[in-house]
């Protein structure tokens, strides 16, 4: 099996789809069932982001590769064996590959969606999995992708139970060590923006230059200023699901962003002829990729120099944790801490 990513030459209904997953058999012929499913599932209006493309493509690539390695047809759903195709792949992921239960769950989600589509299209006569009743332990937990009623749910029987883990975050000491290890001023400001706002990596990578202003010239005296993150305002902002939201930044930090633009950003602006909409530019003077994946490398390498294991999303958890503690210690401000955080983080 081969998994490749489309170029702009892939045009569907007059629209190019670079980066779209394409699955090929070992003979380099199209794996038509998987590719038809990709078009059906990933191009729906409900899928508001291209970020689902790689995970869906890799899940089916790994599943079909597993079947190919064991000389099993994906159509063989009525094998007459106690273990279904989906269950066999689940055990392969958990036992042989030592994947985390949640990673295995994510892969199985796409595989089960594929078979549901195959059943609808008449390619198979039954699904390679069944459903069973499971108990939801509390109202705060839920089983994804199933309908729930009360404490009992009908859940997909091949899915390993979801493993809930506490989000990891940095202490104040670790924050100081991380920022001190960031010798590159551009990288340091990206980390500070993450720690001040809890933005996702793609939101940091595409944060627009147009959003930065001098609060003194604007005669803004409030301690905290509202800022609208809007993917439709032409600034280049990218948010999860393309949903606009309003966040709050301290006046002092906005002033620091403005000083960064005035005194530091110009070092990289001169490296690129066309003007860039994004606040942060790479070493070539170009914007970072919209998915913000390169930020993970920057932040993890900085963390290694500081002796800290860290990634971009951990900075989001760090912001959320310290902000929640601060708001709970100061109830006089009249804010509901959880509601404020949900809106700030875009949940």
pLDDT at 148: 46
Taking residues 142-169, what's their average pLDDT?
A: 63
Q: What Rg, from alpha-carbon coordinates, does the chain have?
A: 24
The more confident residue out of 149 and 230 is: 230
| Residue 246 backbone dihedrals phi, psi, to 5 degrees | -110, 135
Task: Read off the pLDDT of residues 65-102 as tens digits, 9 standing for 90 and up.
Answer: 999 999 999 998 877 666 788 999 999 999 999 998 98
Do residues 130 and 157 lie in contact, with contact meaning Cβ atoms separated by under 8 Å?
yes
Task: Read off the pLDDT of residues 56-74 as tens digits, 9 standing for 90 and up.
Answer: 999 999 999 999 999 999 9
Detail the DSSP E strand segments found in the chain. 2-5, 11-12, 15-16, 21-24, 131-135, 148-149, 152-156, 224-229, 245-250
Task: Read off the pLDDT of residues 204-226 as tens digits, 9 standing for 90 and up.
Answer: 999 999 999 999 998 888 899 99
d(CA 300, CA 311): 5
- The two three-digit tokens of residue 60, written as one number: 């089916």
Looking at every residue in the chain, the average pLDDT score rounds to 88
Question: DSSP 3-state assignment of 131?
Answer: strand
DSSP annotation of 27: T
Return the bridge partners of 318, or none. none
Of 203-217, 276-290, 329-343, least confident by mean pLDDT is 329-343
Q: Which domains does the chain show, CATH number per domain?
A: 2-128 (1.10.150), 172-345 (1.10.443.10)
What are the Cα distances from residue 154, in Å, to 117, 135, 142, 148, 199? Answer: 20, 9, 12, 7, 35
d(CA 38, CA 160): 24
Return the bridge partners of 153, or none. 134, 148
What are the Cα distances from residue 174, in Å, to 179, 256, 311, 312, 314? Answer: 9, 22, 13, 14, 12
d(CA 203, CA 213): 18
Question: Where is mean pLDDT largest: 47-56, 190-199, 269-278?
Answer: 190-199
The more confident residue out of 147 and 86 is: 86
pLDDT tops 70 at residue 163? no
Query: Closest Cα partner for 134 from 124, 125, 145?
Result: 145
Do residues 328 and 337 lie in contact, with contact meaning Cβ atoms separated by under 8 Å?
yes
Question: Any long-range contacts for 34-43 (C-beta under 8 Å, 24+ apart)?
Answer: 34/60, 34/64, 34/114, 36/121, 37/113, 37/114, 37/117, 37/118, 39/12, 40/117, 41/110, 41/113, 41/114, 41/117, 43/12, 43/17
- The two three-digit tokens of residue 253, written as one number: 């930090």
**Whole-model pTM?**
0.68
pLDDT tops 70 at residue 294? yes
């Amino acid at each position: 099996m081969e998994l490749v990513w489309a170029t702009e030459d892939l045009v569907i209904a007059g629209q190019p789809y670079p980066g779209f997953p394409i699955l090929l058999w070992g003979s380099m012929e199209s794996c038509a069932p998987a590719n038809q499913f990709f078009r059906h599932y990933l191009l729906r209006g409900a899928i508001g982001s291209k970020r689902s493309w790689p995970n869906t493509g890799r899940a089916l690539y790994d599943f079909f590769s597993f079947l190919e390695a064991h000389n099993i047809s994906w159509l063989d759903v009525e094998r007459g064996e106690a273990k279904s195709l989906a269950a066999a792949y689940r055990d392969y992921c958990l036992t042989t590959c030592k994947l985390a239960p949640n990673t295995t769950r994510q892969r199985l989600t796409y595989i089960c969606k594929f078979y549901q589509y195959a059943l609808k299209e008449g390619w198979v006569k039954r699904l390679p999995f069944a459903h069973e009743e499971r108990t939801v332990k509390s109202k705060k937990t839920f089983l994804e992708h199933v309908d729930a009623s009360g404490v009992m749910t009908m859940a997909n029987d091949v899915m390993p139970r979801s493993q809930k883990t506490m989000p990891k975050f940095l202490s104040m000491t670790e924050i100081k060590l991380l920022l001190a290890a960031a010798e590159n001023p551009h990288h340091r400001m990206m980390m500070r923006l993450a720690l001040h706002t809890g933005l996702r990596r793609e939101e940091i990578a595409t944060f627009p230059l147009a959003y930065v202003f001098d609060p003194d010239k604007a005669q803004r005296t409030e301690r905290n200023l509202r800022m609208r993150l809007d993917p439709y305002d032409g600034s280049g902002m990218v948010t999860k699901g393309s949903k606009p939201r309003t966040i709050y930044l301290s006046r002092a930090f906005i002033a620091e962003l403005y000083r960064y633009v005035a005194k530091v950003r110009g070092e990289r602006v001169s490296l690129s002829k066309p003007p860039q909409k994004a606040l942060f530019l790479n070493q070539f003077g170009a914007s970072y990729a919209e998915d913000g994946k390169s930020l993970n490398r920057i932040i993890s390498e900085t963390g290694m120099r500081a002796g800290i294991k860290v990634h971009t999303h951990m900075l989001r958890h760090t912001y959320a944790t310290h902000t929640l503690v601060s708001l709970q210690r100061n109830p006089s401000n009249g804010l509901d801490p959880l509601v404020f955080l949900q809106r700030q983080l875009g949940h």
